[in-house]
């Protein structure tokens, strides 16, 4: 499996927003000019983009962190800091991105959905130029930039094909794919020959073709992760229908009916939606049997699967393949497209990232407000300045903190404590 990787796990980090700047104009004969602190630049985003030239996730095998650029701080004379550089992570079409901890899907880059902004950079902080008012002409504070965000993501490449070829090792899937498509899979006579899904396009004269995927050989227990099977069952979720290919000649002592039963059992254990997909049976290696035994095998398969179309074929000689492909093409045309995986991940908001608590300390007889949002605000607000104090009070009101105090029973004159600062509460 050295060249193929269909899963990857790593951490992505967006850029921090640049801080707003505190500065004032310096003019001749003017003791204190107006505020002219510039805004900070926006932090860079983390973007995933489809690259049609890629077919594996192997380049993400060893690197475990990807970080966008931070925004530059604002400067004097209203100079805005530069935005942080976005980081663009290129992936193959069919890549599903999910949050590692919860498994919730963030984006499915398939069927024309070629780009997703997965993490937004922090916003740039406002410079003190924005806080001047008729009653507050010398604001000595600016807004810090929005924090960077970090997320652990899992990438899974789920092959996009109309038809999936399934069967036990050495039943002839790769040979069939090579015979009827432009794919050139490596073929050898040992178990788990195919260690990555091979895709090929079936071209039919005068008709639209379809895409077929040779799904790696399954063994019993694949749905529970036995062997390599579990790693590839996910690819069948993308297909409209399935071709079960069996060794009808039993060249390795296999029973074709029992093989289909075993594989259907694995598909059912992995996903209810997979087992409901329509399928046909390709009874391969018929050229290895004398005529009377061929009929015997076909009767046995028809008795076990009376409602399924069964095609006697030889993947080596090409016998029966044309009839098989015409039937599959007809079914593919009538079947609806498989829907993309619906995102169910909800990005945390700034408020969730920076929570606060409002509690009553009965021993001290004080209301205590804590949390990173409060600590940050106190860090860049000049509470000794009357206008700065009004600015902070408006922050408490706008964020519902004063309402929380009231709900806890705070009355005029009660003491409110925040990180070493104590205030009297008044409605």
| Residues 177, 252 within the same domain | yes
Q: Is residue 49 part of a domain?
A: yes
Contacts 24+ apart (CB under 8 A), 331-340: 331/240, 331/241, 331/278, 331/280, 332/162, 332/163, 332/210, 332/240, 332/241, 333/208, 335/240, 335/241, 335/278, 336/240, 337/111, 337/240, 338/237, 338/238, 338/239, 338/240, 340/108, 340/110, 340/111, 340/113
Residues 27 and 100 in one domain: yes
Whether 299 and 361 map to the same domain: the answer is: no
Q: Identify the CATH number of the domain in which residue 5 sits.
A: 2.70.210.12
Asked if residue 138 belongs to a domain, the reply is: yes
Is residue 112 very low, low, confident or very high in pLDDT (cuts 50, 70, 90)? Answer: confident
Rounded to an integer, the average pLDDT of 184-192 is 38
Rounded to 5 degrees, φ, ψ at 107 are: -160, 150
- pTM value? 0.65
Does residue 186 register a pLDDT over 50? no
The conformation of residue 257, written as its DSSP 8-state character, comes to H
- C-alpha 237 chain-centroid distance: 16
Whether 241 and 367 share a structural domain: no
Q: Alpha-carbon distance 86 to 90, whole Å?
A: 13
CATH number, domain containing residue 227:
3.40.50.300
Last residue of a domain, one of 89, 124, 157: 157
Q: Are residues 192 and 134 in the same domain?
A: no
In whole angstroms, give the CA distance from residue 20 to residue 15.
15
Which structural domain, as residue segments, surrounds residue 148? 1-157
Q: Is residue 54 situated within a structural domain?
A: yes
- Band of residue 227 on the pLDDT scale cut at 50, 70, 90: very low
Same domain flag for 367 and 415: yes
Model confidence at 420, pLDDT cuts 50, 70, 90, reads confident
User: Which residues fall within 8 angstroms of residue 206, CB to CB, at 6 or more apart?
Assistant: none
Q: Do 22 and 128 fall within a single domain?
A: yes
pLDDT in tens, 285-301: 998 888 888 889 999 99
- Residue by residue, DSSP assigns 61-72 as SS--EEEPPPPP
Residue 345 lies in a domain: no
pLDDT at residue number 12? 97
Higher pLDDT, 54 or 384: 54
- Under the banding of pLDDT at 50, 70 and 90, the label for residue 378 is confident
Domain contains 340:
no
Residue 320, pLDDT score: 92
Looking at the structure, do residues 328 and 180 belong to the same domain, yes or no? yes
Tokens found for residue 334: 């009538």
Same domain as 362, residue 287 = no
Total domains in the fold of the chain:
3
Token digits of residue 232 = 């590839």
Average pLDDT of the chain is: 82
Please, what sign has the CA dihedral across residues 316, 322, 323, 329?
positive
Q: Do 250 and 370 belong together in one domain?
A: no
388 versus 125: the higher-pLDDT residue is: 125
Examine residue 344 and state whether it is found in any structural domain, yes or no: no
Q: What is the CATH number of the domain that holds 417?
A: 3.30.300.350
Q: Is residue 343 part of a domain?
A: no
Are residue 8 and residue 86 in the same domain, yes or no? Answer: yes
Q: What is the C-alpha separation between 69 and 83, in angstroms, rounded?
A: 8
pLDDT of residue 275: 86
If asked whether residues 177 and 153 sit together in one domain, one would say no
> Six-digit token pair at 175?
């040979």
């Amino acid at each position: 499996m050295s060249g193929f990787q269909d899963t990857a796990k790593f951490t992505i980090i967006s850029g921090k927003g640049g801080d707003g700047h505190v500065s004032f104009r310096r003019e001749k004969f003017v003791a204190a000019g107006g505020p002219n602190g510039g805004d900070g630049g926006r932090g860079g985003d983390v973007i995933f983009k489809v690259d049609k030239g890629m077919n594996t996730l192997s380049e993400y095998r060893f690197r475990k962190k990807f970080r966008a650029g931070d925004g530059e701080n604002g400067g004097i004379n209203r100079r805005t800091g530069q935005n942080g550089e976005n980081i663009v992570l290129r992936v193959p079409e069919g890549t599903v991105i999910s949050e590692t901890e919860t498994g919730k899907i963030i984006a499915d880059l398939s069927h024309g959905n070629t780009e997703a902004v997965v993490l937004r950079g922090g916003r740039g902080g406002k410079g003190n130029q924005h806080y001047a008012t008729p009653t507050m002409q010398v604001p000595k504070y600016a807004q810090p930039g929005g924090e960077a965000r970090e997320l652990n993501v899992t990438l899974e490449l789920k092959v996009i094909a109309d038809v999936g070829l399934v069967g036990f090792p050495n039943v002839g899937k790769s040979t069939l794919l090579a015979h009827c498509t432009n794919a050139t899979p490596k073929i050898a006579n040992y178990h788990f020959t195919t260690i990555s899904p091979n895709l090929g396009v079936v071209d039919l004269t005068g008709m639209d073709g379809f895409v077929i995927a040779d799904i790696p050989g399954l063994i019993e227990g694949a749905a529970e992760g036995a062997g390599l099977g579990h790693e590839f069952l996910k690819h069948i979720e993308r297909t409209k229908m399935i071709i079960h290919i069996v060794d009808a000649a039993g060249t390795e002592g296999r029973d074709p009916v029992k093989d289909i039963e075993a594989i259907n059992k694995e598909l059912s254990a992995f996903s209810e939606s997979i087992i409901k997909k329509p399928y046909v049976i390709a009874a391969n290696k018929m050229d290895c049997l004398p005529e009377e035994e061929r009929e015997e095998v076909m009767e046995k398969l028809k008795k076990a699967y009376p409602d399924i179309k069964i095609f006697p074929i030889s993947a080596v000689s090409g016998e029966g393949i044309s009839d098989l492909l015409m039937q599959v093409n007809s079914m593919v045309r009538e079947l609806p497209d498989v829907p993309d995986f619906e995102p169910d991940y909800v990005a945390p908001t700034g408020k969730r990232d920076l929570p606060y608590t409002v509690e009553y300390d009965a021993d001290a007889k004080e209301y205590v407000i804590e949390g990173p949002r409060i600590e940050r605000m106190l860090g860049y607000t000049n509470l000794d300045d009357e206008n700065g104090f009004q600015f902070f009070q408006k922050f408490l009101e706008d964020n519902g903190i004063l309402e929380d105090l009231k709900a806890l029973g705070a009355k005029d004159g009660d003491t409110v404590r925040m990180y070493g600062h104590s205030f009297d509460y008044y409605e």
